[in-house]
Amino acid sequence: MLIDTGIAPGTGPRLLTPRHAGRESLAEYRRLGGYSTAGWAHSLPDLLDLVEASGLRGRGGAGFPAGRKWRSVAAEPGLRVVLVNGAESEPASRKDHWLLTHRPHLVIEGALLGARAVGASEIVFYLHTVAQEARAAIEAAWRELAAERRSLPRRRIVVAPPGYVAGEQSAAIQRANGKKALPTFKPPRAHQQGVGGRPTLVHNVETLANVPFIARQGADAFRSVGIPTAPGTMLLTLSGAVRRPGVYEVPSGVQLAHVLDELGGGTVDGGPIQAVLPGGYFAGWLNGAALHGGVALSAESLRDHGVELGSGAITVVSDGVCGLAQAVALLHFFARESARQCGPCAFGTPAMAAALERLARGRAEDNDVPRLRRYAEVVLPGRGACSHLDGATIAARTALHVFAEEIAQHARYGGCGRPERVVLPGLEDDDAQRAA
Amino acid sequence: MPSARPDIRVPEGARLRVNAIRCQAFGFCADYAPELFGLDEWGYPVVHRREIPAEQLALAYEAARRCPVRAILLEQARGASPRRGE
């Protein structure tokens, strides 16, 4: 699979090496400073301090400070485990796949440094079922390394089944423990009781890929790019109606409009942007008009607009299609992907999808707008064992806001005259299925 | 959560949660303690407020005890001891 990549002007490459055709070999990785003596000279306490001082945050969606996570794992007794979460079940995201297939050593070195810092004897790579290339790349890279290093932690590859919630960290741990990849109730949390019942450091692939740079160059160098609240660069996957979809590396906190214009090349048809999913399917809808208001890729700026930073998977919807149809398809996605373990999620996600679909078809019941708002803002938030239900409520709440005019129009005319074709990656077949 | 009565100290971190995976919508909790639980339209409990005032701790404990699938959790921060009613 070919993924276009690019780096924001003025940003030295940390994670992406542009125009990289295949897998980066051990020798190539070394040439760029990989497995450096400087990076491996730190004492364990120093390494923990360094990661904490760097301000690195998790890149899987929750944005939790990595240093705090490392400390909480290191504080638990016994041998620990590192779980590299490469399931990337977010349909519009390709960044982790790119890292695993092109720069497996960067991911492996990050995991090894993590294992060293927290005292882990095993590294589990949790990889998506379709990602044969990722598995092959990790295995080949590990073989290269094992040929020259005498002592490496135990390495295990666990295959993630398809499904949105299979990428959730407790689902990953379940799978690694030989069970179904379903989320569990917390506590226990991963740092207390994870793989094999042992304290487990679970990180998204991109998060760990930042660690070698921090170990080698130090916390200040890491913080020299991006915003103080979430320093460093971040990987984005641009998809939808942009001229140049692909994986990009940008400093955190850049303007979203700038990213879409300069890196994405603007919209395919040159027309205006109707709406954006700025952080993956769980992070909510952003109005296209907000782009002119200077919304930035930071948790703070996006939260001001009612959405979350999420995982850097940015999907653009142009003015040429019905936006409300996209929002309906997204809520159906949440309903379909519910693990159906929790009542509020099993019943609440289809109820929200049905209400928005009635609104889109101009067949709304009198109170469907307040009903959907009540579901999304009052009844359902915080009631699932994992964040799947919360993602669905954010998708519903922001859709009511962003597509308010469309909802009024659909109520009056039964539609907006634009094609209802679904353009969200991975969901394209939805409307075809429903028509069949 | 400030207590209705200023003379009662609310133990920090006495929190009510429902394990949504365990919960089977029996609804005993809302029957027994409507002060603490409502039910959504599908019969699953909605906790009115997570922080439990000290005067309702005994009630919360009894509601948790009555749940047939033990889906109600009363979590506490270190130091707080809701079992003894503070």
Measuring CA to CA, which residue among A286, A285, A273 is closest to residue A318? A273
Instruction: Based on the fold, state whether residues A128 and A271 are members of the same structural domain.
Output: no
Asked whether the beta carbons of A285 and A277 are under 8 A apart, the reply is yes
**Chain B nearest C-alpha distance from A164 (Å):** 18
In terms of domains, do A47 and A131 share one?
A: yes
Looking at A279, A294, A318, the residue that finishes a domain is A318
Instruction: Tell me, yes or no, whether B5 lies in a domain.
Output: no
Cβ contact A277:A57 at 8 Å: no
Q: Which two tokens stand for residue A372?
A: 């959907």
Residue whose pair of structure tokens reads 């276009």 in the numeric block: A4
Cα–Cα distance measured from residue A57 to residue A71, given in angstroms and rounded to the nearest whole number: 14
d(CA A5, CA A24): 15
Residue B33 belongs to domain with CATH number: 3.30.70.20
Best mutation target among A338, A349, A379, A388 (most B Cβ atoms within 10 Å) is A379
Looking at the structure, do residues A239 and A335 belong to the same domain, yes or no? Answer: no
Q: pLDDT at position A10, please?
A: 60
Those residues with Cβ within 8 angstroms of residue A67's Cβ, 6 or more apart along the chain or in another chain: A48, A51, A52, A53, A54, A55, A56
| DSSP conformation letters of A214-250 | HHHH-HHHHHTSEETTEESEEEEEEEESBSS-EEEEE
d(CA A213, CA A103): 14
A170 has a pLDDT exceeding 60: yes
The number of angstroms, rounded, from the C-alpha of B85 to the middle of its chain's C-alpha atoms is: 13
Confidence of residue B1 (pLDDT cuts 50, 70, 90): very low
| Cα gap B54→A377, rounded to integer Å | 28
Q: Are residues A349 and A312 in the same domain?
A: no
Q: Do B20 and A348 touch (CB under 8 A)?
A: no
Instruction: Give A286 to chain B, closest Cα distance, Å.
Output: 29
Indicate the average pLDDT of chain A: 93
> Which residues on chain B are in Cβ contact (under 8 Å) with A392?
none
Q: Give B84's pLDDT tier (boundaries 50, 70, 90).
A: very low
Q: Are residues A166 and A31 in the same domain?
A: yes
DSSP state of A422: -
SS3 A230: strand
* Number of compact structural domains in chain A: 3
Residue entry with tokens 């994992």: A386
Query: Is B86 or A325 the better-scoring residue by pLDDT?
Result: A325
- Chain A contact for B22 (CB, 8 A cutoff): yes
Residue in A253, A252, A251, A270 with CA at minimum distance from that of residue A261:
A270
Q: Which residues of A touch B70 (CB under 8 A)?
A: none
Please give the torsion angle defined by the CA atoms of residues A79, A81, A82 and A87, in that order, rounded to the nearest 10 degrees.
Answer: 180
Q: What is the Cα–Cα distance from B75 to B17, expressed in whole angstroms?
A: 8
Q: Closest Cα partner for A111 from A270, A101, A102, A121?
A: A121
Q: Which of A318, A351, A385 is the last residue of a domain?
A: A318
A305 and A351 part of one domain? no
Please check whether residue B4 lies inside any domain of the structure.
Answer: no
- Token pair, residue A380, equals 């359902």
| Distance of alpha carbon B37 from alpha carbon B48, whole angstroms | 6
pLDDT, tens digit, for every residue of A143-168?
A: 999 999 889 999 999 999 999 999 99
User: What's the CATH code of the domain at A172?
Assistant: 3.40.50.11540
* Residue B8 in domain: no
What does pTM read for this prediction?
0.92
Question: Quick one: CA dihedral A34, A35, A38, A40, positive or negative?
Answer: positive
Domain match, A218 and A232 both? no
What whole-number distance in Å separates Cα of residue A292 and Cα of residue A413? Answer: 30
* Residue B8 confidence (pLDDT): 45
* pLDDT at site A413: 93
Q: Which residues pair with B73 in a beta bridge?
A: B17
* In-domain check, residue B74: yes
Residue span of the structural domain in which B60 resides: 15-84
Q: What confidence tens digit (pLDDT) does each residue in A358-417 have? A: 999 998 888 999 999 999 999 999 999 999 999 999 999 999 999 999 999 999 999 999
